[in-house]
């Protein structure tokens, strides 16, 4: 963490003449935590990123009058919105809604604002570290409204900013002024470093995901529970229509392998309809955020034997809550591999990570990932991962083979793999051609 009041523990040089800058004060107008500074040699004035979140890697220095950016790594996705924000400052007064639990004159500010949902959520996971390691400081957690219900217990204050997550990059002068006033009222203030990718060893999702509805009566009679984390803006297939065909196909194949399955759809987008013609289907998708619906989604994620979805921030909570995860990865997203996985604290043996977390690699529209590939991957995990995990532990944690595997799932998985769909060469070729034609048409 970084002290910002009464003294700022930071120094920087002028990007033009390398003179040590004179620091003037803190400015937190959005996701960036900036310091204002002036060069005593050339008199240039700057906003400089403090080493917080992404700025640990690619801090931005912004000339106040020319808006010139100094950022040698050229991470434009991070620096350009800061410049745009400075040039188009929000005129309306936006202030946090303060939810105070106790007074504290020594605080740590955890700024979870961002313009991407996943980034905000990952920043929030840093709160636990401060609760546990710095109990003498009051945690003040700044979150957009959509994440307020995930702030863990024990914090001093929640600063709920009533803005959509995507607006976390806008420049709010009213917010910067308000935060400075908050700091002036305290004896000492720190900033959390809000590491972008905290390890699962420093957070326990159960402390963030709380107050879920009881869905036991909805799920008791079904096994396995397969959850698809849907998003209409990032599809499995070239179009939403193709995604619908893929999902319908996947649901049908899984229904034949696991007749007692519960297939759950969560996520944003309701552009298409899945015909409930096989095992039990629950469609909880929506076009807008609702906190109670979000809790219901999380309850199903927690109950799921396997969560499936296209790479992205939509996979963070499903991967952290479900017993296993299968992710479909676009070629263009390979550079961000694993960034959207959350792991359970119980995961210690790397073999368990490989058993329970799978990535299926596809082209840039995922049209080459066939539903039967995913169905077999799901069957492999659901039927065999637990027994393999238990077998791997013999000789380590135990000397006997112990596992509480659902015998029916094991049998259904064995049936699937020992009786592959019997198709003639001509039949297989026709199906492959049909899949290609649908892809081309879409």
Can you tell me which of 6, 9, 17, 105 binds Zn ion, judged by CB under 5 A?
17
Using rule CB under 5 A, residue 332 touches Zn ion:
no
Distance (Å) of CA 352 to CA 301, 323, 360: 19, 11, 17
In the range 108-127, which residues lie near Zn ion by CB under 5 A?
none
Task: Of 251, 249, 245, give the one whose Cα is nearest residue 265.
Answer: 251
Report the nearest approach of Zn ion to the CB of residue 46 (Å).
9
**CA–CA dist 180, 191 (Å, integer):** 12
User: Which range in 34-42, 100-108, 120-128, 133-141 contacts Zn ion by CB under 5 A?
Assistant: 34-42
Report the run of H or E that residue 121 belongs to, with start and end: helix 117-124
- For the bound state, the minimum distance from the C-beta of residue 32 to Zn ion, rounded and expressed in Å, comes to 21
Distance of CA 123 to the CA centre of its chain: 10
34, 39, 155, 205: which one binds Zn ion (CB under 5 A): 39
Asked whether 194 and 123 are in contact (CB, 8 A), the reply is yes
- Cis geometry, peptide bond prior to residue 6 (ω within 30 degrees of 0): yes
Query: Cβ closer to Zn ion: 63 or 286?
Result: 63
Q: Cα(112)–Cα(122) distance, rounded to whole angstroms?
A: 8
Dist CA 123 CA 111 (whole Å): 8
- For Zn ion, give the closer residue by CB, 67 or 363: 67
Q: How far is the CB of 4 from Zn ion (least distance, A)?
A: 23
For the segment 40-69, give every residue that binds Zn ion (CB under 5 A): 41-42
Closer Cβ to Zn ion, 16 or 373, answer by number = 16
DSSP assignments along 280-327, one per residue: EEEE--BSS--HHHHHHHHHHHHH-SEEEEESSGGGHHHHHHSS-EEE
Span from 35-43, 259-267, 351-359, 423-431 in contact with Zn ion (CB under 5 A): 35-43
Q: CB under 8 Å, gap of 24 or more: what pairs does 19-22 form?
A: 21/46, 21/48
Closest approach of Zn ion to the CB of residue 10, in Å: 17
Residue selected from 14, 110, 304, 381 as contacting Zn ion according to rule CB under 5 A: 14
22 binds Zn ion (CB under 5 A): no
The number of beta carbons lying within 10 Å of the beta carbon of residue 173 is 14
**Does the footprint of Zn ion cover residue 334 (CB under 5 A)?**
no
Nearer to Zn ion, 37 or 155 (CB): 37
Decide whether 17 or 290 has the Cβ nearer to Zn ion. 17
Adjacent-strand bridge partners of 434 = none
Least Cβ distance, residue 12 to Zn ion (angstroms): 11
Is residue 134 within the footprint of Zn ion (CB under 5 A)? Answer: no
Least distance to Zn ion from the beta carbon of 14, Å?
A: 3
Handedness of CA 242, 248, 249, 250 (dihedral sign): positive
User: How many chain residues are in contact with Zn ion, going by CB under 5 A?
Assistant: 6
Return the DSSP state at 185. T
Among 13, 16, 134, 272, binds Zn ion (CB under 5 A): 16
| H helix runs in 41-116, sequence order | 76-87
What mask of x and - would describe binding to Zn ion in positions 265 to 304, judged by CB under 5 A? ----------------------------------------
Least distance from C-beta 71 to Zn ion, angstroms? 17
Pick the closer one to Zn ion by CB: 24 or 93. Answer: 24
* Shortest distance (Å) from residue 439 CB to Zn ion: 57
Nearer to Zn ion, 15 or 309 (CB): 15
Q: Which is nearer to Zn ion, 16 or 145 (CB)?
A: 16
Using CB atoms within 10 Å of the CB of residue 23, give its burial: 0 to 12 exposed, 13 to 18 middle, 19+ buried: middle
Q: Residue 127 CB: number of other CB atoms within 10 A?
A: 26
- Name the residues that contact Zn ion, by CB under 5 A: 14, 16-17, 39, 41-42
């Amino acid at each position: 963490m970084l002290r910002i009041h009464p003294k700022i523990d930071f120094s920087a040089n002028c990007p033009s003449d390398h003179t040590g800058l004179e620091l003037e004060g803190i400015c937190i107008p959005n996701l960036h935590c900036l310091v204002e500074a002036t060069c005593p040699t050339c008199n240039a004035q700057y906003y400089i990123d403090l080493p917080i979140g992404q700025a640990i890697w690619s801090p931005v220095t912004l000339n106040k009058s020319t808006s010139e950016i100094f950022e040698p790594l050229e991470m434009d996705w991070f620096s350009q919105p800061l410049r745009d924000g400075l040039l188009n400052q929000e005129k309306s007064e936006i202030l946090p809604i303060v939810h105070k639990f106790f007074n504290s004159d020594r605080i740590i500010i955890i700024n979870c604002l961002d313009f991407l949902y996943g980034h905000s959520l990952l920043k929030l996971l840093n709160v636990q570290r401060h609760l546990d390691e710095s109990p003498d400081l009051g945690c003040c957690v700044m979150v957009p409204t959509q994440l307020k219900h995930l702030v863990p217990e024990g914090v001093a204050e929640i600063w709920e900013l009533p803005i959509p997550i995507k607006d976390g990059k806008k420049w709010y002068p009213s917010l910067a002024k308000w935060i400075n006033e908050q700091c002036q009222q305290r004896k000492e203030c720190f900033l959390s470093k809000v590491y972008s990718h905290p390890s699962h060893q420093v957070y326990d999702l159960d402390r963030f995901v709380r107050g879920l509805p009881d869905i036991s009566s909805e799920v008791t009679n079904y096994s396995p529970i397969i959850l698809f984390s849907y998003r209409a803006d990032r599809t499995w297939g070239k179009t939403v229509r193709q995604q619908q065909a893929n999902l319908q196909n996947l649901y049908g194949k899984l229904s034949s392998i696991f007749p007692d399955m519960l297939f759950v759809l969560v996520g944003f987008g309701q552009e298409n309809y899945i015909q409930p013609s096989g095992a039990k289907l629950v469609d909880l998708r929506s076009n807008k955020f609702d906190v109670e619906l979000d809790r219901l989604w999380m309850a199903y994620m927690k109950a799921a034997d396997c969560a499936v979805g296209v790479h992205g921030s939509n996979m963070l909570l499903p991967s952290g809550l479900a017993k296993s995860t299968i992710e479909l990865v676009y070629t263009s997203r390979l550079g961000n591999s694993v960034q959207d996985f959350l792991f359970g604290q119980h995961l210690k043996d790397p073999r368990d990570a490989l058993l329970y977390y799978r990535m299926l690699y596809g082209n840039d529209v995922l049209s080459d990932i066939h539903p039967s590939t995913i169905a077999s991957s799901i069957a492999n995990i659901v039927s065999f991962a637990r027994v393999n995990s238990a077998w791997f532990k013999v000789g380590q944690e135990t000397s006997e083979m112990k596992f509480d595997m659902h015998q029916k799932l094991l049998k259904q998985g064995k049936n699937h793999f020992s009786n592959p769909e019997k198709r003639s060469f001509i039949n297989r070729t026709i199906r492959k051609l049909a899949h290609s034609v649908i892809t081309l048409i879409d």
